[in-house]
Amino acid sequence: MRPTLTWTPAGEPLPRTTSLDEVTEVVAAGGVLVLSGAGLSTESGIPDYRGSTGSLRRHTPMTYQEFATSEDGRRRYWARSHLGWRTIARAQPNSGHRAVAQMRARGYLDGVLTQNVDGLHQAAGTPGVVELHGSLDRVVCLGCRRTSSREELDQRLRAANPAFSAEATQVNPDGDVELPAEAVHGFTLVDCADCAGGVLKPDVVFFGENVPADRVRQCYQLVDQASALLVLGSSLTVMSGLRFVRYAAKAGKPVLIVNQGVTRGDPHAAVRVDLPLGQALTELAGRLA
């Protein structure tokens, strides 16, 4: 089955507001679980997939099937990601990340699930973040399953490609960048350092790949324990995040969505706020203070 890359809403858009009054009331009661998406990191310079300038408008992301079965696909991915990862690694938390960390520290939030792979929640000081789609800071071998740091792989790739000097242009949410074919063609891959011929992959969930079952169970448990679900900056196009919205709504827990633009979870939302995330979360944290 092909991965869900886009989604077209049916019918008239559901009502949205720019008021944070209802969100403030729910969050002030505590016990809220956050589910964050790429829209939260755009103000840190990391583009999203589906916003008005989202990366899906100009490229198709790597799928697990292509990465696992095609050496050319892996070469293209690693050459481009070798440059793009450095941009992601240099990104700094923005006011939205910091506001989430403040609300977590003050006890209003019980936890944070993120669909992002950039580590910016943790960099802002939020503890115990569940990375639904993994992290670009780690690499996993598809053979022996050993994990290692992305910094270690970066050093090995630099050594294997001393003359590689292509310049990144557009950076995508997964660290991929746009490069001409000739820059990719001569890029040398490296295998796992622990097992012969082991294929290395970023420890992230690619399109067309399943989120690990134990991680999914952990997320459901967090939704069970929460009093409400606060969605931040996600279109909820893919089922990996949407299922928790549906689950919370079915359990009678308020679903609050703060996002610019329509989301696939809007029919399940008690409140739907359309505001920039940095502005909205800074205001929300200020009200709660």
* Catalytic residue positions, numbered: 133
Host H or E run for residue 231? strand 228-232
Q: Is there a binding annotation on residue 50? A: yes
- Report whether 161 belongs to an annotated binding site: no
- Write the burial class of residue 19 (CB in 10 Å: 0-12 exposed, 13-18 middle, 19+ buried): exposed
118 known member of a binding site: yes
Cα first-last separation, the chain: 47
Is 44 annotated to bind ligand? yes
Could you give phi then psi for residue 196, rounded to 5 degrees? -65, 120
38 labeled binding residue: yes
Question: Residue 192, annotated ligand binder?
Answer: yes
Residue 234 labeled ligand binder: yes
User: What is the three-state SS of 175-239?
Assistant: CCECCCHHHHHCCCCCCCCCCCCCCEEEEECCECCCCCHHHHHHHHHHHHHCCEEEEECCCCCCH
CB 239 within 8 Å of CB 133: no
Helix (H, G, I), strand (E, B) or coil at 160: helix
- The reply, when asked if residue 277 is annotated as ligand binding, is yes
Confirm or deny that 51 is annotated as ligand binding: yes
19 assigned binding-site residue: no
CA–CA gap between residue 148 and residue 143 (Å, rounded): 13
Binding residues for Zn(2+): 141, 144, 192, 195
Binding residues: 37-57, 115-118, 141, 144, 192, 195, 233-235, 259-261, 277
Binding residues for NAD(+): 37-57, 115-118, 233-235, 259-261, 277
